[in-house]
Chains A and B, each alone.
Chain A
Amino acid sequence: MAGWRRSLQLRVVTTTIVLSLVVIAVLGNFLVSRIASGLLDAKVHAALAEAATGSRTAQEAFDSADRSDPSVFDTLVRDLVESLANGGGPAGANEIVLQRGPDLTSPLAPLGVSSSPDIGPDSIPSRLSRAVGSDSAQRFTYASVTEAGRSVPAVVIGSPVVVPTVGVYELYFVFPLDAETASLDLVRRTLALAALGLVLLVGGIAWIVTRQVVTPVRMAARIAERLASGRLEERMRVRGEDDLARLAASFNKMAISLQRQIRQLEDLSRVQRRFVSDVSHELRTPLTTVRMAADVLHESRADFDPAAQRSAELLQTQLDRFEALLADLLEISRYDAGAAALEAEPTDLRLVAARVIEDTEPLAERRGSTVTLSAPRYPCFADVDDRRIERVLRNLMVNAIEHGEGRPIEVRVAQDDQAVAIAVRDHGVGLDAVAATMVFNRFWRADPARARATGGTGLGLAIAMEDAHLHGGWLQAWGESGRGSQFRLTVPRHTGVELERSPIPLEPGDSWRRRRTLAVGQAHRRVDRAGVSDA
């Protein structure tokens, strides 16, 4: 069945055979019936003529016979039947039945005679004898008679003969059609054989013809697959000027333009990467000088007057911000240029989480948040680039601390057979559902009117998202307005594995919505109990 759907050739050949079978069957039937009716017509024509002559001979014999002696009549009838049966004219062999007419009831009249023991009055169809009895015309019909133990079709021709002084007899000529049947069978067999040969021939032709078409199509498919797998220099062979050659030529044209476009894109990407690299270098060198000079000024600010002192401090902090922004811009443009490459190796994500928590501890202390880490006792290994994962986590931690309003922050690490997840939960200002999808947009702000109170470049989460995608992972946010948020990073344990689920639910168990559902459930139970005690 799969072969049927996959092979055009098989389908075409099968369809051709089926259709030609139908056509040949119709045609064959028509031919056979034409031949049969032709044979039969000739036979009937000859038989009618012969029967007419026979009837005339019989009538004449009866008319001139000596009627005084019944035994003579008997002999006459017997001789007559014999001679008519053995006539053997152009219509072939025949048998004779002579029987009494319907009006001849006298017991004195001699009974009927037949030329063959196999054929008697029973062999004559009653509709024919009724017709013969009604008038003096010659009548015929087809019937099946038994001859030498087997049934054969036959033409039966009847006409009345008048035996003087006795009455009307019916004389029947039975012409078996065995010769015609045999001829017809031969014709049928020959036709069937020819039909079989023809169908096989047509099937073979269809196979060869479709092969001529299908082979280049298959070749095109093969080459298209190779093109798709990156072998851009593959081309089809063009032979002749037919449609298939045109197909090959346009296929090759397509491949060439595809190759050119891919080359162009590659060039563009190269130019972009080069540009990013150059901008990076050109910007960073003077920035370094400025930075160092600012550091020198900042260190000796004690010697300055208050205005210069404050200026040195502002210069220092804004340089930090400028640097962070530049670094993030360059990082995200690297992603945009497709220049980011994953260097993954097995890493215990519990250790990464612990390290990030340790690093961000001073900031958390300043804000008054306590940070707790809950992780399994066993290692949670995943193939990751630990620099990137650390950057993602640091970003999530700093966000949680800065928006956590000094409330506790929980970090969870968990794994299942496919993935490792890290969730950072805070109980601060939170996010609404729209914000939870928007936070990963570049330079997105919850409240555009609100000045950016905290540091941050506005690109941190966008880069974190790119980092997660680079690992084939997920970075998602959940939040409730005023009740905190949870950011969850899920990475597959092995690179290239499609993620299906995360070991940590995105919505934490202590969310307001879940607690409310639980509380409503408990309220119902209390009501139930009250109802029972009342009754």
Chain B
Amino acid sequence: MKGRVLIVDDDTPLAEMLGIVLRGQGFDPALCAHGDHALAAFREHKPDVVLLDLMLPGLNGIDVCRAIRAESDVPIVMLTAKSDTIDIVHGLESGADDYVVKPFKNGELVARVRARLRRSEDPAPELLEIGDLVIDVAGHSVKRDGGSIQLTPLEFDLLVALARKPWQVFTREVLLEQVWGYRHAADTRLVNVHVQRLRSKVERDPERPEVVVTVRGVGYKAGPA
């Protein structure tokens, strides 16, 4: 599998090192060192995954993330030196799918990138219903009353995971494993933020969710079909 990866990081030694590691794993990396040039580089390289540092000269990582998200559903993995909740939540809310906290191990980074690329393999045709939504898994589309709802691949995966087993309550850890591909329990904030993002798109009233229901103390489940 040859994936194009755009690395947006102002620290050139780190960017170069990232390039070396990713190339060694069979990816095709491209580098960008300035926030202001990130969107142009994105349009030029059309990457399959974006690795995005949050602290950038010029346009900062959060803004770059929003700009890319505005025109593409490409998976975005944040590189962050900050493990403070507020920064990570901020990044995830601006559209990132996953994050890696510096310093990370090569294996961890590669696993994150692979997990985000995994979904490009063709899924079997499958039609799911959750609440009043109809999900076409193969066609990667979600419809309500005939109208289409735009979801990022990760949000889509999260919705599909819940919709496939509407009788099951998913803990955040299980969702992390199924949707994000984490082997060991990582940060459950990933799940919380993405559930909120998903709700803001698929719920009629995100304050009173009917599609993705919280089961207090346990996790989430799909609402009644």
Contact = CB atoms under 8 A, between A and B. Distances in A.
Given A292-B18, A296-B106, A387-B188, A348 B81 contact: no
Interface residues of A, number: 34
A341 interface: yes
B187 A387 contact: yes
A141 to B, nearest CB: 102
B17 interface: yes
A280 B81 CA distance: 6
A60 interface: no
Interface residues of B, number: 28
Contact of A347 (B11, B109, B217): B217
Given A285-B11, A346-B216, A296 B21 contact: yes
Interface in A289-308: 289-293, 295-296, 299
A520 B104 CA distance: 57
Given A291-B104, A381-B217, A280 B20 contact: no
Given A343-B85, A348-B217, A386-B188, A284 B102 contact: yes
A280 B87 CA distance: 13
Q: Is the interface of A mostly helix, strand, loop or mixed?
A: helix
Contacts of B104: 288, 291
B82 interface: yes
B208 interface: no
B81 A292 contact: no
Interface in B80-107: 81-85, 102-107
B21 A277 contact: no
A285 B82 contact: no
Contacts of A446: none
B24 A296 contact: yes
B14 A285 contact: yes
Contacts of A277: 82, 84
A509 interface: no
Nearest to B79: A288
Contacts, number: 71
Contacts of B17: 288-289, 292-293
Contacts of B173: 355
B20 A341 contact: no
A390 B84 CA distance: 17
B29 to A, nearest CB: 13
A359 interface: yes
Interface string B105-131: 111010000000000000000000000
Given A288-B102, A291-B104, A281 B81 contact: yes
Contacts of B85: 341, 343
Contact of B11 (A289, A299, A330, A339): A289
Given A285-B11, A348-B217, A359 B103 contact: no
A234 interface: no
A226 B108 CA distance: 52
A361 interface: no
A359 B24 CA distance: 30
A345 interface: yes
Contacts of A390: 185
B137 interface: no
Contact of B20 (A287, A296, A323, A381): A296
B184 A359 contact: yes
Nearest to B184: A359
B147 interface: no
Contacts of B18: 292
B103 A291 contact: yes
A285 to B, nearest CB: 5
B146 interface: no
B108 to A, nearest CB: 10
Contacts of B14: 285-286, 288-289, 292
B217 A345 contact: yes
Interface string B152-189: 00000000000000000000010000000000110110
Interface in A371-391: 379, 381, 386-387, 390
Contacts of B55: 281
21 contacts: A277-B82, A280-B81, A281-B81, A288-B103, A289-B14, A289-B17, A290-B103, A291-B103, A292-B17, A292-B20, A295-B21, A296-B21, A296-B24, A323-B103, A327-B83, A330-B83, A339-B84, A343-B85, A359-B184, A379-B217, A386-B188
Interface of B: 11, 13-14, 17-18, 20-21, 24, 55, 81-85, 102-107, 109, 173, 184-185, 187-188, 216-217
Closest 9 A-B residue pairs measured CB to CB?
A346-B217, A281-B81, A284-B81, A284-B102, A295-B106, A288-B103, A288-B102, A291-B103, A287-B103
